[in-house]
Amino acid sequence: MTQNSRSYHLVRSGETNKLICSDNAAPKPDHHQVLIRMGAASLNYRDLLTRQDITSNRAGLIPLSDGAGTVVAVGSEVSQWKEGDRVSPNFFPNWHGGAFSLTYPAKALGGGQTDGVLSDYIVTEESSLVEVASHLTLAEAACLPCAGLTAWQALFERGGLKAGDTVLVQGTGGVALFGLQLATAYGARVIMISSSDAKLERARNFGAWQTINYRTQPEWDKVALDLTDGKEVDHILELGGPDTYNRSIAAIAAGGRIAQIGVLTGFALQPDILPLMFKNASINGICVGSVTHFERLNRYISDHQIHPVIEQVFGFDDVPEAYELLKSASHFGKIVIDLS
């Protein structure tokens, strides 16, 4: 029997895209594909940028990259998955492992020409999937593909994090909270910076070693220097962009690593390159991660029984409100859509 599938689509309206809901027949899996009944999806800052982008998205694009669900049918050649498996598609469906290729971004879920996961049913290649960790709900698993994997790649795959290292994380959104949880579980000391004392209080409850309010203490790089007895920090998850970059360079320790991840304050940047050079520090460009990285993240999450931090779960009909909450930046951790 053909299933009905509700989806949201981005449709151009003036200088932005409207979210339009539609009902269609569920897609059918091809030979190497899997049909997934999505249980949940989550939003990322990228989804705000995608919604605002009226030039590069296909008309009618289904947004959101992050989701998790249950396999309900498999193509004739599928060997890895069966009905009932709980799975999550990788942000880059065709980056299975090894070095990154510039061909991957065009296929990233929920942007450009490639439909995302804000749908009851999706089909995807079997090779793009990872198994959901057994201690997670589908809502929790839906938080991992972009935010969790980005923090994982930054700290572990590229950052070479060691127990006892100091990590500075900017803000208290999705990537930031994963940075806090993943690094703390490894025995690193995490300094969180946020615009809000209330959010910093919550971050301390999740294990933050030190916290700095970047509104009341805008020279947070100097505060970080004091907190580390002048040693400065070994890793920074750089999420801010132009407004935070030079403070990150000032706060990074000799030989430290800045993970270049975010653009929260824009794209145009004139970095202060001299201190970076004199400190022998590195900037690692980070773009989410591969299926292999995602599998390793899930093993780690499972070993440490980490539960993603969810601010709020919205129903399917309330997706526009979920976008508004993300835009307000008042959230702590992740915003989830229940598709079950």
**Edge to edge, what strands does the sheet with 252-260 contain?**
210-213, 189-194, 166-170, 233-238, 252-260, 282-285
256: buried, middle or exposed (CB in 10 Å: 19+, 13-18, 0-12)? buried
302: buried, middle or exposed (CB in 10 Å: 19+, 13-18, 0-12)? middle
Distance CA 96, CA 289 (A): 9
- To ligand NAP, the closest distance from the beta carbon of 222 in angstroms equals 16
Closest CB to ligand NAP among residues 122, 180: 180
Closest CB to ligand NAP among residues 40, 326: 326
Closest CB to ligand NAP among residues 26, 291: 291
Q: Which residues bind ligand NAP (CB under 6 A)?
A: 44-46, 146-147, 150, 170-176, 193-196, 199, 214, 239-240, 243-244, 261-265, 286-288, 326, 329
Closest CB to ligand NAP among residues 143, 253: 143
Closest CB to ligand NAP among residues 64, 87: 64
Closest CB to ligand NAP among residues 136, 200: 200
Distance CA 119, CA 9 (A): 9
Q: Between 45-52 and 319-328, two packed helices, what is the crossing angle to 10 degrees?
A: 110
- To ligand NAP, the closest distance from the beta carbon of 281 in angstroms equals 19
Q: Give the CB-nearest residue to ligand NAP.
A: 173
Closest CB to ligand NAP among residues 73, 259: 259
- To ligand NAP, the closest distance from the beta carbon of 247 in angstroms equals 9
- To ligand NAP, the closest distance from the beta carbon of 84 in angstroms equals 30
Q: Which two tokens stand for residue 189?
A: 């000391």
169: part of which helix (H) or strand (E)? strand 166-170
- To ligand NAP, the closest distance from the beta carbon of 9 in angstroms equals 21
- To ligand NAP, the closest distance from the beta carbon of 213 in angstroms equals 9
Q: Which two tokens stand for residue 276?
A: 């970076």
The conformation of residue 150, written as its DSSP 8-state character, comes to: H
Burial per residue of 316-337, b for 16 or more beta-carbon CB atoms within 10 angstroms, e otherwise: beebeebbebbeeeebbbbbbb
- To ligand NAP, the closest distance from the beta carbon of 289 in angstroms equals 8
